[in-house]
Amino acid sequence: MHDKEFYLKVKDYSVSKETFELYHNKTLDLLMTHPKPDPENLSRYYESDDYISHTDGKRSLFEKAYHIVKNIALKKKVCMINFQQIGKGRLLDIGAGTGDFLLAAKENGWATVGYEPSDKARNIAMSKGVSFTDRTEKLPNYSLDVITMWHVLEHVSNVEAQISELKRLLKPNGTIFIAVPNFKSYDAQHYGEFWAAYDVPRHLYHFSKTAIKLLFQKEELDLIKIIPMKFDSFYVSLLSEKYKTGTMNYFKAFITGLKSNAKGNRSKEYSSHIYILKNTKTDINSLESLF
């Protein structure tokens, strides 16, 4: 990727305490974490009991609140998918964590499969009765009606290769749901280097709406809708307060979250977005591999 300039220095507050740099790709309006950890070393940056998406922990008020909000969000996600994709078929969740979304979709009538690189999280998920593949490459071409990546694309080491794989897997008129943080939100600007959603170096890329549109456009996947994730501004602000001041200032975080959503209502730049993309341009000739 070309046309890069230095953007910001950010510390890994949750695990290693190391400092990383963010560079801005102006063509795509995309931030990239530098240096990018080697694949064989990346797993050590996830080794923390505080990495909440890889556990079902409810040790603190914060973790309990997280799971309450998560359960509300799960129901909304399933309803959203049912609305966008007519007829329940086969669904893949990439980066499935401890499997709660897969379980909710399965109970709603979807035929589900997950992919999760963390052994710890995957084992928890499998105990709930959901099934996994160890590599998405094992799944057939054009075999999925829906693919979801809930706050996962930012963790992927090669974004363009991942999007190409999504295109390969998706049926004609299938739907992809991508949730990622938005570095152009008010809370990102307010907290700067302390913004928790930078989460370096686990987050290797940091997306804008322009970046998502252009990256998926290369694979002829059409961005049809953007939905704000309004709860995220409060969750991210709580962690950002902790990184900035050493304590979770609930009142300040709540006010910042409210302000971020109010400003997002005008600018359409929220703390996180869900992007809905459709496969409307599958080459008919390439479908011969199905038969």
- Supply φ then ψ for residue 33, to 5 degrees: -80, 135
Cα separation of 225 and 116, whole Å?
26
Question: Does any domain span residue 52?
Answer: no
Instruction: Please name the residues in contact with 142: beta carbons below 8 A apart, sequence gap of 6 or more.
Output: 168, 169, 170, 171, 172, 282, 286, 287, 289, 290
CA distances from 73 to 27, 35, 118, 150 (A): 33, 33, 22, 11
Q: Answer whether residue 160 is part of any domain.
A: yes
Per-residue model confidence (pLDDT) at position 5? 97
Q: Is residue 249 one of the residues assigned to a domain?
A: no
Please identify which residue in the block is written with the tokens 């102006």: 26
Q: What is the pLDDT of residue 190?
A: 98
Q: How many CA atoms lie less than 13 Å away from 68 in the CB half-sphere?
A: 7
Q: For residue 62, what pLDDT is reported?
A: 59
Which residue, among 194, 196, 207, has the nearest Cα to 277 in the 3D structure? 207
240 assigned to some structural domain: no
The range of the structural domain enclosing residue 10 comes to 4-38+61-230+273-281
| Domain count of the fold of the chain | 1
Question: pTM to 2 decimals?
Answer: 0.91
pLDDT of residue 93: 98
- List, for residues 3-25, the tens digit of each pLDDT value: 799 999 999 999 999 999 999 99
**Tens digit of each residue's pLDDT (9 = 90 or more) over 239-266:** 999 999 999 899 999 999 999 999 999 9
Q: What is the DSSP string of the chain?
A: --SEEEEEEEE-TTTT--EEEEEEETTTTEEEEESPPPHHHHGGGG--TT-GGG-----SHHHHHHHHHHHHHHHHHHHHHHHHSSS--EEEEES-TTSHHHHHHHHTT-EEEEE---HHHHHHHHTTT--B-S-GGGSPTT-EEEEEEES-GGG-S-HHHHHHHHHHHEEEEEEEEEEEEBTTSHHHHHHGGG-GGG-TTT--EEB-HHHHHHHHHTTT-EEEEEEE-TTHHHHHHHHHHHHHHSS--HHHHHHHHHHHHHHHHHHS--SEEEEEEE-----GGGGGGG-
- CATH number of the CATH domain containing 86: 3.40.50.150
Is 34 within a domain? yes
pLDDT at residue 288, rounded to an integer? 44
* Distance, CA of 115 to CA of 150 (rounded, Å): 12
Any domain includes 260: no
Domain assignment of residue 255, yes or no: no
In a domain? residue 51: no
Q: What is the pLDDT of residue 280?
A: 82
Low-confidence ranges of the chain (pLDDT < 70): 1-2, 49-67, 69, 282-291
